């Protein structure tokens, strides 16, 4: 049955009430603050694209389709580039662009995309971003229907959907073993002092050097694959020692925590950074800029890019923090690590989710077929040896 009366709120009024409710859910733990902010950001985008003064109940399925198409065509402004193509932000507290194009400096508002350099050209939103935006809009209309703000949910008449998930952008894919090793080696190697007129245009004082912190960022991302939000949210007190093993207590999505042991090299990088970390008064954050402020999400990409510039060209490839998360999952699974252990390291509640983080490796299929378990000789030979001039048929002896 249709509701007898509908509260004819404008799109802006409905969005404000819905976002207030979403943020209230973080108090009870029903939603994490990061998830609530994603909903809020998507709803704000919906308001801009749909028109803030329109009545929510007047929107049809065609109107929603138009909004979804407009979002799909929007340039992906999460990373903006300067003249040299590097991400804006250097981890020192200068403005960076993150979270949908907002200029952030660790203190300013999320909204403000009109400031800063022009967005990088290229295609619109990825399929994953389109699907996320559609889910956010659907959640808004589900609540609107139950609250009596609309007669019918227009999402039922919407036909625009993101294409099926295809290949990832190159910088989001896993690094090969050689590329990952090059990045880690560059992080471990001390960087020479920047010369005047260098890539960053200035020479840093000794108290502005961040090599130990940058090395820890790369080591944590490459070895443990945390989400970038988990990394920047980490505090010094989240790291502890138990029976001689160092652990990181990671506060993940949905209020879930997981304790992940640190490999010996990562623990050494942590100790090296803590020995030189200059904390501000009462600052608990693990990763700090040289000014003593907690790093923002956008600063992490700048850290990776700075380390990557020291990798020899043949082993260097652009990569994002999420690409390093893919790298962790891909190489742990390729090395035969138990799938449940990998799931716990990455912080997933379901094994099926691992498929999204497992990328193909060059030559992987050839190696698997070259050592097929059903075609191995009992004496230790392999089918590949027999195929290249060895004795007759497999399985003899």
Q: Which residues are catalytic?
A: 227, 253, 322, 325, 348, 357
Strand partners of residue 257: 251
Torsion region of 260: left, alpha or beta (phi above 0 gives left; psi -120 to 50 gives alpha):
beta
CB atoms within 10 A of CB 5: 8
Q: Which two tokens stand for residue 222?
A: 């490459």
**The 3-state secondary structure of the chain, one letter per residue:** CCCCCCCCCEHHHHHHHHHHHHHHHHHHCCCCHHHHHHHHHHHHHHHHHHCCCCEHHHCCHHHHHHHHHHHHHCCCCCCCECCCCCECCCCCCCCEEECCCEEECCCCCCCCCCCCCCCCCCCCCCHHHHHHHHHHHHHHHHHHHHHCCCCCCHHHHCCCCCCCCCCCCHHHCCCCHHHHHHHHHHHHCCCCCCCCCCCCCCCCCHHHCCHHHHHHHHHHHHHHCCCHHHHHHCEHHHEEEECCEEEEEEECHHHCEEEEECCHHHHHHHHHHHHHCCCCCCCCECCECCCCCECCHHHHHHHHHHHHCCCCHHHCCCCCHHHHHHHHHHHHHHCCCCHHHHHHHHCCCCHHHHHHHCCCCCCHHHHHHHCCCCCCCCCCCCHHHHHCCCCCCCCCC
Q: Give the pair of three-digit tokens for residue 350.
A: 């379901």
Contacts of 153 (CB under 8 A, 6+ apart): 141, 142, 144, 145
**Cα(256)–Cα(313) distance, integer angstroms:** 40
Whether residue 318 contacts residue 172, with contact meaning beta carbons closer than 8 Å, is answered with no
């Amino acid at each position: 049955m249709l509701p007898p009366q509908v509260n004819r709120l404008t799109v802006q009024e409905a969005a404000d009430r819905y976002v207030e409710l979403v943020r209230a859910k973080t108090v009870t733990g029903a939603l994490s603050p990061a998830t609530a902010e994603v909903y809020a950001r998507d709803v704000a985008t919906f308001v801009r694209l749909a028109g803030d003064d329109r009545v929510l109940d007047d929107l049809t399925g065609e109107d929603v389709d138009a909004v979804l198409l407009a979002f799909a065509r929007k340039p992906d402004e999460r990373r903006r580039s300067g003249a040299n193509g590097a991400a804006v932000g250097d981890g020192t507290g200068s403005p960076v662009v993150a979270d949908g194009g907002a200029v952030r400096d660790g203190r300013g508002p999320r909204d403000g995309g009109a400031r800063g350099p022009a967005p990088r050209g290229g295609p619109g939103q990825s399929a994953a971003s389109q699907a996320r935006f559609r889910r956010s809009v659907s959640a808004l209309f589900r609540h609107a229907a139950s609250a009596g703000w609309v007669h019918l949910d227009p999402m039922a008449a919407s036909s625009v959907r993101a294409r099926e998930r295809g290949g990832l952008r190159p910088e989001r894919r896993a690094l090969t073993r050689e590329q990952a090793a090059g990045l880690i080696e560059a992080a471990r190697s001390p960087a020479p002092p920047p010369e005047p007129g260098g890539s960053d245009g200035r020479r840093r004082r000794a108290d502005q050097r961040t090599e130990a912190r940058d090395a820890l960022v790369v080591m944590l991302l490459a070895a443990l694959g945390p989400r970038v939000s988990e990394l920047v949210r980490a505090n010094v007190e989240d790291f502890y020692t138990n029976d001689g093993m160092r652990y990181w207590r990671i506060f993940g999505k949905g209020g879930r925590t997981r304790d992940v042991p640190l490999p010996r090299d990562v623990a050494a990088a942590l100790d090296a950074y803590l020995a030189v970390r200059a904390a501000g008064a009462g600052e608990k954050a693990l990763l700090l800029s040289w000014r003593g402020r907690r790093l923002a999400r956008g600063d992490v990409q700048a850290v990776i890019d700075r380390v990557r510039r020291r990798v020899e060209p043949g082993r260097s490839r652009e990569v994002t923090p999420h690409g390093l998360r893919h790298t962790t999952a891909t190489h742990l699974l390729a090395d035969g690590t138990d799938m449940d252990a990998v799931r716990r390291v990455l912080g997933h509640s379901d094994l099926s989710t691992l498929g999204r983080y497992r990328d193909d490796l060059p030559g992987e299929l050839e190696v698997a077929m070259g050592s097929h378990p059903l075609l191995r000789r009992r004496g230790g030979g392999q089918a590949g040896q027999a195929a290249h001039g060895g004795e007759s048929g497999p399985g003899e002896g």
